[in-house]
Structure 1
Amino acid sequence: MTRGIILDCDPGHDDAVAMLLAWGSPAIELIAVTTVFGNQTIEKTTRNALAVAAVAGIEGVPFARGAERPLVREIETAEATHGESGLDGPSLPPPAIELDRRHAVQLIVEEIMARPPGTVTLVPTAALTNIALAARLEPRIVPRVREVVLMGGAYAGGNWTAAAEFNILIDPEAAHIVFSAGWPVTMVGLDVTHHALATPDVVDRIAALGTPVSRFFEELMTFFRAAYRNTQGFDHPPVHDPVAVAYVIDPAVLSVRPAPVSIELTGTHTRGMTVADLRAPAPPGTRTSVATGIDADRFWGLVTDAIARL
């Protein structure tokens, strides 16, 4: 059976791969793609999403522009990692589809309410602003959503600060709303995505497919490798966001355990930290879970298969 997802993203090199995986996997029905600020401004992330859609041949899927800034704080972007365009490296084609006229938050609410309960999974791979706003605008979506599988956070350290991961840090108030809303939430954090590395073997295997989409992936990773080496000292770039999509396709990709998760909003050195309580079995009724392990070969197999299908 296919799983219907709304992909909420800020492309972004790894978001682009998440889009390719979602569109290329026969296990996914891509209901909609919504954009948010994050890796770059909302103008750039939206433009990038439409460009990736053109590369992948995505059609019949609404794309909607969402929040341009956090709920409370000033905007922060990741230009050092993703470049001035947010998707530096490949030459981006012009958009082949038009944006939906609805705001992303409105689209999310309407798509969930129009479908049977339990048939929509939200997959946010960016700041959680759109998802939080949707839950506040129409609380009835919360019990209708099958689950929220998000890329963000970590239970052991951060990447943008010592304590916090970027997607959570740039709008921690939104993260607090999403984690505490009451729907099932699975946190796919740095603890596992830092092991989803685009090694030369991985890139060569996908490049050998010899298609325009595989060449696009190779160009993405060439820039991403250099950026990660310069900014964070990685020999090979971790490709975070498609791990969340892969878990929806095949839960065996990740080891996951229930755990209470709280978002630190006020700490001087820990703002944006995802505080996961792993000390003991989770209390009954815990609705949040954290990924603790990854089968990287299984993950890259899904990505390679999806790109081959495109």
Structure 2
Amino acid sequence: MTKKPVIISTDPGIDDVVAITIALFSGELDVKLIAATWGNVPLDKTLNNTLKLETFLKTNVPVVSGASRPLLRNLIDASDVHGKSGMDGYDFPEPDTSLLQSKLAAEAIHEVVANSQEKVTLVQIGPATDYALYFRQYPEDLSRIEQLVIMGGAIGRGNWGPYSEYNVAGDPEAAQIVFSSNVKILLAPLELGHQAFVTQTTMEKVKKLGRAGDMLYHLLSKLNDKTETNGREIYDALAVGMLLKPQMYEFKPAYVVVDTKSPNAYGASVIDFDKFFNKPANAQVGVQVDQVAFAEWLIDAIRKVK
């Protein structure tokens, strides 16, 4: 079976670590590049975290430093959720900096896409800044992108503002560039995270899955996030799950636009399922995920980490 070439834009972030770990050891994905961007914590920390994770996992996927701030707005921060480092809760080894490329993220992404024999899938589990810059700088690449899988946005209420989800709210202008790109998009909104929670029982099973399971257990135990369940909501793994086990999800086509103007709804992702705007759908939006299947998939995926 031919592996699917993938690039990941990420801002580790505890739930990013879960998603990256699963992607790196999947038998179906060939992760070509990881672009660390600002997001949950500042860029110097997300970059350091990405390198530390790869050092711990003993993988050798090239890493590139992405954007240090949003296109227009001021930085926001989620260190109250993920800890000051972004990966509080586990003692990682010092990072192997030999994996770090000196190129700009847009250039590095372009080189992977341009040189790939197959169309490349992009995964976005942080703010959209790097992919927005890449799309603007290399528009000729758009036809070579298989799809873009995004964890971000909210169908209803947000977790940063009344209607804004953190990843989109962090850089609304970049998110709007991405949603208007005409690239095929799969979207995992905030609501799926509320459904795809992992219970303490599941976490105890994860803990027993070798050194990677132990690492993920300790990170998730430190995740300081108010949830609608008694478990841990692992948002970013939803995006990887859409690639590896799409049958867990129910999707609905929608036209998605990001509010970049309103002082009260700035950063909101407006998801139109009903053609109120008379616009064609630009995303397949996940509206339901099977919680039991998700937990079973998560355990099975982590079991594959060697």
TM-score, scaled relative to structure 1: 0.93
Deviation per CA, 1:66-121: give whole Å up to 9, x if none. Answer: 0000000111110111111111111121113521121222111111111135x211
Counterpart residue number, 2:9: 8
Query: Is 1:73 aligned to 2:73, yes or no?
Result: yes
Partner of 1:194, secondary structure, is helix
Counterpart residue number, 1:220: 219
Q: Unmatched 5+ residue regions in structure 1? A: none
Partner of 2:297, secondary structure, is helix
Query: Is 1:204 aligned to 2:204, yes or no?
Result: yes
Paired residues of 1:187 and 1:289 also in contact (CA < 8 A): yes
Report which stretch shifted further, 174-183 or 275-284.
275-284
Change in CA separation of 1:297 and 1:58 when aligned onto 2, cut-off 3 Å: farther
Counterpart residue number, 1:247: 242
Q: Unmatched 5+ residue regions in structure 2? A: none
The CA distance in 2 between the partners of 1:26 and 1:283, in whole Å, is: 41
The CA distance in 2 between the partners of 1:96 and 1:249, in whole Å, is: 28
Counterpart residue number, 1:20: 21
Percentage of pairs with the same residue: 29
Paired residues of 2:255 and 2:279 also in contact (CA < 8 A): no
The letter of the residue matching 1:182 is N
The CA distance in 2 between the partners of 1:300 and 1:294, in whole Å, is: 11
1:144 deviates by: 1.0
The letter of the residue matching 1:44 is K
1:142 deviates by: 1.1
Partner of 1:203, secondary structure, is helix
The letter of the residue matching 2:176 is H
The letter of the residue matching 1:74 is N
Counterpart residue number, 2:154: 154
1:280 deviates by: 5.2
- Number of residue equivalences: 303
Paired residues of 2:253 and 2:284 also in contact (CA < 8 A): yes
Deviation per CA, 1:237-263: give whole Å up to 9, x if none. Answer: 211001101101121121111110110
The CA distance in 2 between the partners of 1:222 and 1:171, in whole Å, is: 28
Counterpart residue number, 1:47: 48
Query: Is 1:128 aligned to 2:128, yes or no?
Result: yes
1:135-214 maps to which residues of 2 (within 5 A)? 135-209=135-209, 211-214=210-213
Paired residues of 1:6 and 1:32 also in contact (CA < 8 A): yes
The CA distance in 1 between the partners of 2:152 and 2:39, in whole Å, is: 12
Change in CA separation of 1:309 and 1:97 when aligned onto 2, cut-off 3 Å: farther
Change in CA separation of 1:17 and 1:38 when aligned onto 2, cut-off 3 Å: same
The CA distance in 1 between the partners of 2:59 and 2:276, in whole Å, is: 42
1:303 deviates by: 2.3
Partner of 2:198, secondary structure, is coil
The CA distance in 1 between the partners of 2:125 and 2:80, in whole Å, is: 18
The CA distance in 2 between the partners of 1:281 and 1:253, in whole Å, is: 28
Deviation per CA, 1:137-177: give whole Å up to 9, x if none. Answer: 11011111001110000111111111100000010000000
1:282 deviates by: 10
Report which stretch shifted further, 10-19 or 190-199.
190-199
The CA distance in 2 between the partners of 1:79 and 1:161, in whole Å, is: 17
Paired residues of 1:228 and 1:236 also in contact (CA < 8 A): no
1:300 deviates by: 2.5
1:198 deviates by: 2.3
TM-score, scaled relative to structure 2: 0.94
The CA distance in 2 between the partners of 1:282 and 1:301, in whole Å, is: 39
The CA distance in 2 between the partners of 1:284 and 1:273, in whole Å, is: 18
